[in-house]
Amino acid sequence: MGWATHYIVQLRQGDSVSFRPRGNSMKGRIESGQLCTVIPIDVSEIQVNDIVLCKVHGNEYLHLVKAISGSRFQIGNNRGRINGWIGPNAIYGKCVRIEN
């Protein structure tokens, strides 16, 4: 169970979620502690540079879609690190609002 497990359950039930992630991996796009609102989304609507709540290699992230190849998505942070490639079932929602 990770930091976002509860939010993932809610997103899978069709609910939007809001939370304040901590850390600096998304600095410049999301500052540590800012309020982020994530909504369920059809993965066919996801584009490069969208911020998504996802799971890569068992770890939960609110990170960027860096590239799309067919039905696979490359996930990374805003500091140049690439987490890896995932399929559509590992994306749970899209961040649509960031506020203090």
pTM recorded for the entire structure: 0.96
Q: Which amino acid is at 47?
A: Q
Q: Which helix (H) or strand (E) holds 7?
A: helix 5-12
User: What is the C-alpha to C-alpha distance for residues 20 and 34, in angstroms, rounded to an integer?
Assistant: 5
- Burial letters for 43-64: b for 16+ Cβ neighbours within 10 Å, e otherwise? beebeeebbbbbbbeeebbbbb
CATH architecture of 5-99: Ribbon (2.10)
Domain ranges of the chain: 5-99
pLDDT 10s per residue in the chain (100 long)?
Answer: 899 999 999 999 999 999 999 999 999 999 999 999 999 999 999 999 999 999 999 999 999 999 999 999 999 999 999 999 999 999 999 999 999 9
Secondary structure class of 86 (helix, strand, coil): strand
